[in-house]
Structure 1
Amino acid sequence: MIGHGKIEISERITKINDFKELKLVEVKRQLAHEIISISYGFLSPLRGFMNYEEVDNVVEEMRLPNGVLWPIPIVLDLNESEAEEVKEGDVIGFTYMGKPLAVMRVEEKFSYDKGKMAEKVYKTRDVKHPGVKRTLSYKEKFVSGEVYLVNVPKFTSVYSDFWLTPRQHRELFERMGWKKVVAFQTRNVPHTGHEYLMKFAWFAANDGLRVDEPRTGILVNVVIGEKRIGDYIDEAILLTHKALVDAGYISKRVHKLSFTLWDMRYAGPREALLHAIIRTNLGCTHHVFGRDHAGVGNYYSPYEAHEIFSKINEDDLLIKPVFIRENYYCPKCGTIENDILCDHDSDKQEFSGSLIRSIILDEVRPTKMVMRPEVYDVLMESAKKYGFGTPFVTEEYLNRRESIFELGDLQ
């Protein structure tokens, strides 16, 4: 058994015949990711999927019934026919892509108002919002209970080099001698604006420590999960961040790269809180929050993810947010600045995502002040090797990409 599950269940589920005797439910990718993340402790203090009381408390108050801060419901949905076959107290088995994954003792079956859940969590019921669309597409019933992983996921090629459990993160930080660790979340290939954010955050987190000793680290924690057409492909994100360090733009003494399995909800301020909790579980002491963190479209104001932390009691968080404003390259200053540090507004060159994407699509090498040449080269190599000719997600990529992880057969 993996993680924090109960021995009495896992000891009975050690052979494929034992597993096959259970009521089996095939789960989608999102649920497989959440089962793995719960089992390893990324989503601690959760030990499984939420019951009615937990969901309602989180929706209404952003807290679990015991008062612990938690902003987004983590739920397991079943259709009516699946739910009818499951009784409270049953142990059910989860499969993913036909392979055994985990078991769960059913605690409660319940229904919940999905419209209310969407409006409270995302501040809208607009189905154009991807989080709302996901919520409203949940099946008719929810089932709660603690989950126990029975099959260790084997991460493939690119991903295996960057997979660390929360415990392994903490052990790594201790070996590096880091007293403080600032988390930098990303779903993008790094341009020099991101490089600036990481370095600025390092200085902010390093406050009080000697700068001649690398006692503060930067953890770039990539979110690997559901992809939308036009996103950067996962392999390119990981490998280009590695290239930034391999080329020496950020020292390996203060930088590590890993990923978390999580399908983004684009819940803006609420998701910013969840990201802070996840990185606390990894052992980080600080977390970077920039413009439009976890936002989408115009559903949230640019710095709403900053503002929500002012409404949270400091005792509820074991991590310190580092707030960073939008930055740009100023030719007059010759450096990367933001709108507080520099008054050369008419000359600023913003790091426009659409502009950078158009440059990349045209296969034009960006200037060094936009993207490091080593990063660009790895990006193009990743496009050919993993993206079927493009570094951006396409239908072909979604249909033919290599699996993030594989599951073996139980004996």
Structure 2
Amino acid sequence: MADLIAPHGGLTEPVCLTVGAAEIDAFKAEAEKLPKVPVSAADLSSVYRFADGTLSPLTGPMDKATYDLVLNEAHIVNNGKKYAWTIPIAFPVTAELAKTLAKGQKVALTNPAGEVVATLDISDVFEWDKPAYIKGVYQTERTDHPGAAMVLEGDKDKTHLVGGTIKALPQPKNAKFGKYVLTPREVRKLLAETGWEAAVAFQTRNPLHRAHEYALVYGLETLIRQGKNAGAVLNPLIGETKGDDVNAEIRMQTYESLINNREFGDGDSDVELWKKRGESVPDRVKLLGLDIKMFYAGPKEAVMHAIYRQNMGYTNIIIGRKHADVPYADGTNIWGDFDAQEMFGKLSGDLKIQPVKVGFAAYYESMGRVDLTENHKDEKPWSISGKDVRATLQKGDMVDPRIMRPSTSTILAAAMKK
């Protein structure tokens, strides 16, 4: 069956630079003889995503010209045409290591355990202008936020960047949730088998409140009301996140529970819409994970989240209020609530995937369900602060079911009490 959407960058199929099973031994033997370049746990996922095509049309970390083009003009050029790209990606190295590397050289990339994971044909080694990167990606010169901390603290000793072309070994599967993490080609095959003509992805890095969940339900219902045979995929990001985010293993348990218990949209969906169809929301929701790091870059990252999903084969992505958002250390906002949604109207290059824009949602007593805040201008929603939710769970107690499904509360409370 045909793909629902072409990969990014004018390609007919996603990039594939993963070593085939028959080549693995020879590849490892050759790579062991090469100079070694370590990559961090966060950047390791980027190695695998270059190789499997999630970052198509790129074939590896950027050279300086491409890096600067993305930083200054928010696009790449492929076959003479501009394509949206908002966060530059190259691999950081120390000044000491950079002196030993040169264009045209082949090196082996190693993970934090020192094991070879890929080879890189180097196309460029250049100085990393960290203030320019922070200003370009985060749209602020302030550095008291998680994105800047990743650069200034996490990569404190790294002064240079390396670009080139990747060839990578297959990524080892996580024993607990690896079955949900598929390559772009595998996701495209799965979507083709559903018979859907539209598929909307829901990006998250958190366990779901009912308001989060409603954003997915709203996105799916929007496409169905447009007359499309559509489905939705809960597509959490499970790559490197900041320390106070709930870890991927626990989060995947909560998502799996929501899916397996058929709780999606329960009490919060359009009853008439689904009744006419003789089905319910869970009939059209799947769970798949995406292993790539968070940049905590708000509007710029929202576009990257869309690019990853276009390469995976999704036609649409849900973009909500404060997408990929974090505040400054003092709690003030870096970006406006809907800057991520507005970003899609300001792209300087082609992007095929379409956003489904969703406003803020909350539980309303008058309806006995979750709904969009814009529909209740004169009514105060039922709400609990994130701080109170966390405190409740840390005591091992259940969060009010108007805020969070009991199945999610149960898993989080057990994990956080420990």
1:123 aligns with 2:153: no
Q: What is the TM-score of this pair, normalised by structure 2?
A: 0.84
1:261 is aligned to 291
Q: Deviations over 1:7-51 (max 9, x none)?
A: 9xx969725442221011222112211000111011111110101
Letter of the structure 1 residue corresponding to residue 203 of structure 2 = Q
Q: In the TM superposition, what are the counterparts of 1:216-295 in structure 2 within 5 Å? A: 216-250=230-264, 251-295=281-325
Q: Distance in 1 between matches of 2:312 and 2:413?
A: 31
Alignment partner, residue 7 of structure 2: none
8 Å contact kept, 2:201–2:234: yes
Asked if 1:141 corresponds to 2:160, the answer is yes
Answering whether residue 85 of structure 2 is matched by residue 70 of structure 1, we say yes
Does the aligned pair in 2 maintain the 1:38–1:47 contact within 8 Å? yes
Q: By how many angstroms is 1:153 displaced?
A: 2.1
Indicate if the aligned counterparts of 1:193 and 1:351 stay in contact, CA closer than 8 A: no
Q: How many residues align?
A: 376
Quickly say closer, same or farther: Cα 1:80–1:197, change in 2 above 3 A: same
SS in structure 1 of the partner of residue 75 of structure 2: coil
Shift of 1:359: 1.9
Task: Answer yes or no: is 1:310 the counterpart of 2:322.
Answer: no
Cα distance, 1:203 vs structure 2 = 0.9
**Which residue in 1 is equivalent to 2:127?**
111
Matched, 1:353 2:386: yes
Q: For residue 336 of structure 2, what is the aligned residue in structure 1?
A: 301
Alpha carbons of structure 1 residues 108 and 125: separation in structure 2 relative to 1, 3 Å? same
**C-alpha contact 1:3 1:148 (8 A) present in aligned 2:** no
Amino acid at match of 2:97: E
> Structure 1 residues 276 and 115 mapped into 2: Cα distance closer, same or farther (>3 Å)?
same
> Counterparts in 2 of 1:350-389, with a 5 A limit?
350=383, 352-381=385-414, 383=415, 389=417
Q: Distance in 1 between matches of 2:195 and 2:350?
A: 26
1:202 and 1:6 map into 2 onto residues whose CA distance is 33
Q: Which runs of 5+ in 1 are unaligned?
A: 391-411
Q: State the AA in 2 paired with 1:144.
A: G
Residue 337 of structure 1 pairs with residue 371 of structure 2: yes
What does residue 30 of structure 1 align with? 42
Work out whether residues 181 and 291 of structure 2, in 8 Å CA contact, stay in contact via their aligned partners in 1.
no
Residues 105-162 of structure 1, C-alpha deviations (whole Å, 9 max, x = no match): 111122242211211211122221222233344622222101110x222222222121
CA distance in 2, matches of 1:332, 1:232: 32
Give TM-score scaled by structure 1 length. 0.85
The structure 2 residue matched to 1:157, chosen from 162, 168, 175, is 175
Aligned residue for 1:142, secondary structure, equals: strand
Matched, 1:205 2:223: yes
Query: 2-side partners of 1:228 and 1:217: how far apart?
Result: 30
- Is the partner of 1:107 in helix, strand or coil? strand
**Identity of counterpart residues, as a percentage?**
28
Partner SS, residue 194 of structure 1:
helix
The two structures, once aligned, show a CA RMSD in angstroms of: 2.4
2:70 aligned partner, one-letter code? V
Determine the C-alpha separation between the residues in 1 that align with 2:312 and 2:120.
25
1:324 equivalenced with 2:358 (yes/no): yes
